[in-house]
Structure 1
Amino acid sequence: MEKAIYYEDYELGSVRETMGRTITETDIVIHAGQVGDFFPHHMDAEWCKTTPFGQRIAHGTLTFSIAVGMTANLINPVAFSYGYDKIRFIKPVAIGDTIHVKVTLAEKRDHPKKTDMGFVIEKLEVFNQRDEIVLVTSHVMLCQKKNKKEQ
């Protein structure tokens, strides 16, 4: 069992970064089949040559999914994902681009109703191999507080 990291243990401003992950044509094809998005931006190489991007681009939701998976390297038995806020697709990600994620602990706040819980908000910034930001979002976690005896 993984070590519990309680609400009080999270430090504002702490940063962690992932390793890189190269986006492949297979990623795009599989994602298109999973979600049913076969728009030519992702699937039609010849049509894409006529666009400002000049090549096929990954679905924003694919980039988001892979980035989130890259950050899921810690199992915390006293916290769980509450969701993601303000997802923005800043730049396109193409086949062959390598992304990595910087996670910064941006905010902590008490739960308005559950006194034994608090929200921990991580800022996720996804970068390509040129260190350009391609996606940003906020990950909201609901985390258990230490009980009074442990503080």
Structure 2
Amino acid sequence: MGMSGLDYVQIGEKFRFAKTVGEVDVTLFAGLTGDFSDTHINEQYMREKSSLGSRIAHGALIVGYMSTVSTLSIAHIIHKDDLEDFPVSAGYDKIRFLRPTFLGDTVTTTYEVVEIDREGGKSLAKMECTNQRNELIAVGTHVMRWARKLHQTSGTPA
């Protein structure tokens, strides 16, 4: 009998991902998503019109870092031979952007497992993103669902 990935997930486990947000990151993200808001790509506009004084990263880019750290959280589990299920992101709850992320900021995203729901086949994690000044810039909850694998039948393929 195989194991569920949730058998390997532990409340209190923490994972981290850190990345400095550069000019290229924001420009490529704008191109990938089609979000060419002046707040992200027009430095002059932000200097003249915004109280922030400089361009900021897309909030969805920060959510991308949340996704990265969620992947790191299951990397030590997914290739175990006895698993009968596999992880899929079921989404994010209560994401809030508390402060802007400026180009040049280093964002550290922490992922902490806070709840395991074996009956529901999922785990919840608290995510916090801070900048290099240790200011909280974004928070949210990630839901990881463990889905049953399809079992192949024995015999020759048709």
TM-score under structure 2 normalisation?
0.76
Of residues 73, 79, 101 in structure 1, which corresponds to 2:87? 79
In the TM superposition, 1:55-134 aligns within 5 A as 55-73=54-72, 74=75, 76=78, 78-111=86-119, 118-134=121-137
AA at the equivalent of 1:34: L
TM-score under structure 1 normalisation?
0.80
| Separation in structure 2 between the aligned mates of residue 10 and residue 70 of structure 1, nearest angstrom | 15
| Separation in structure 2 between the aligned mates of residue 144 and residue 10 of structure 1, nearest angstrom | 15
**Would the alpha carbon gap of residues 17 and 47 (structure 1) be closer, same or farther in structure 2, given more than 3 Å must change?**
same
Q: Where does structure 2 lack aligned partners over 5 or more consecutive residues? A: 80-85, 149-158
**Would the alpha carbon gap of residues 70 and 6 (structure 1) be closer, same or farther in structure 2, given more than 3 Å must change?**
closer
Count of residues in correspondence between the two structures = 136
Secondary structure, aligned partner of 1:33: helix
AA at the equivalent of 1:106: V
Shift in Å at residue 46 of structure 1?
Answer: 0.8
Equivalent pair of 2:96/2:139 in contact (CA under 8 Å)? yes
Q: Give the aligned partner of residue 8 of structure 1.
A: 7
Secondary structure, aligned partner of 2:134: coil
**Greater mean alpha carbon deviation, residues 41-50 or residues 61-70:** 61-70
